[in-house]
Structure 1
Amino acid sequence: MKLYGVVGWKNAGKTGLMERLVTEITGRGITVSTVKHAHHRFDVDHPGKDSFRHRTAGASEVLLASASRVAVMQELRGAPEPPLADLLRRLTPVDLVLIEGYKRDAHPKIEAHRAVTGNPLIAPDDPTVRAVASDTALTLDLPVFDLDDTRAIADFILAEVGL
């Protein structure tokens, strides 16, 4: 599986870019999965649901299945967060995995940047960032795309990974 990341500071437009890239790339007949890193606690389950009750009773993993989807929830219960490489091994093979976050990992990335956030660019200090998608004109030694030019960004990423 080919890997490509989308990184950037909070409110830089990462999730919107990811969503548009998945739509654009799958629309070209390429299979895509995504991995999203969360810096905060999250829960995909809800109190009162059977699966929630299984987890709170102490189950290490709960697999929830229906005719439309399958979800596996694994409780770490104090164990360290699994590295990205371990998580990727759990995925069913696809053509491309788009990764939101994991900015310290070594896969190639594009940085989403919005000037209004006031945050500095990651790209100048990170050789794994191969391009920047921004809402403002930038002068860099890397390709710079308009943050809303999804087609051009997708073309760049697909060329980078050889798809």
Structure 2
Amino acid sequence: MTSPYRKQRVFGIIGRSGSGKTHLISRLIPLFCQQGLSVSTIKHTHHGVDMDTPGKDTFQHRQSGAVEVMLATPTRWFLQHQSLTPPKLDDLLKTMKPVDLILVEGFHADVPACMEVWRSTTGKEPLFANTPHIQAVATDSVPAQNTEEKRVFLSLNDTKSVFDYIQKNIFCYK
């Protein structure tokens, strides 16, 4: 059992739906792995998702009132946890195996420092204008002159620069 007081290296990637967060994270993971780092991810969604299938054994266990249901296969396992309240990032991090880095997609209100992925082509307003803890923005439209002195703007297509920025700005979460 790991200590509930361990520190975990974490970096947050946030942004509006359709901005390219998942695509960027999928490009970043191999770069961290090539450096010999172990990487895990947490993906937050506001939508209800059910990995279970009605009529299957695990579905029946959950419907019968089980708080947690684990499904184990020869190569992977899944843990479903029922909760009356939305999960807190801190609690999720404590349940994960310690690794060199956890990339958190979403949880923009809970990640103390993070990078926003913003593409002007989505037609959606960026979050960084009203979210002070966003340190950097990976975007398809890097401004020629940065008037936001407290933020770093990086090209969304320059995965290596985004990787380098994250390497230098990973933070330890409790």
Superposed pair shares fold, TM > 0.5: yes
Match of 1:47 in 2: 54
Match of 2:32 in 1: 25
Match of 2:4 in 1: none
Q: 2:111 and 2:26 mapped to 1: Cα distance?
A: 22
Match of 2:95 in 1: 90
Cα RMSD after superposing both structures: 1.7
Deviation (angstroms), 1:54? 1.6
Match of 2:167 in 1: 158
Q: Which one-letter code corresponds to 1:55 in the other structure?
A: R
Q: Alignment partner of 1:119: what SS?
A: coil
Q: How many residues of Structure 1 are paired with residues of Structure 2 in the alignment?
A: 161
Match of 2:136 in 1: 131
TM-score, length basis structure 1: 0.91
Q: Which one-letter code corresponds to 2:126 in the other structure?
A: L
Q: Which one-letter code corresponds to 1:157 in the other structure?
A: I
Sequence identity, in percent?
A: 37
Match of 2:43 in 1: 36
Deviation (angstroms), 1:69? 0.8
Q: Alignment partner of 2:161: what SS?
A: helix
Q: Alignment partner of 1:105: what SS?
A: coil
Deviation (angstroms), 1:75? 1.6
In the alignment, structure 1 segments of 5+ residues that lack a partner are none
Q: 2:74 and 2:160 mapped to 1: Cα distance?
A: 33
For the pair 1:12 / 2:31, whether they are aligned, the reply is no
TM-score, length basis structure 2: 0.85
Q: Alignment partner of 1:85: what SS?
A: helix
Q: Alignment partner of 1:5: what SS?
A: strand
Match of 1:69 among 70, 76, 81: 76
Q: Which one-letter code corresponds to 2:99 in the other structure?
A: V
What are the superposed Cα offsets for residues 91-133 of structure 1, whole Å, 9 maximum, x if unpaired?
Answer: 0001111101111114221100111122222223323211110
What are the superposed Cα offsets for residues 6-36 of structure 1, whole Å, 9 maximum, x if unpaired?
Answer: 1111111111112111222122211111111
Match of 2:5 in 1: none
* Larger displacement relative to structure 2 (3-12 or 53-62): 53-62
For the pair 1:115 / 2:120, whether they are aligned, the reply is yes
In the alignment, structure 2 segments of 5+ residues that lack a partner are 1-7
Q: Alignment partner of 1:82: what SS?
A: coil
Match of 1:80 in 2: 85
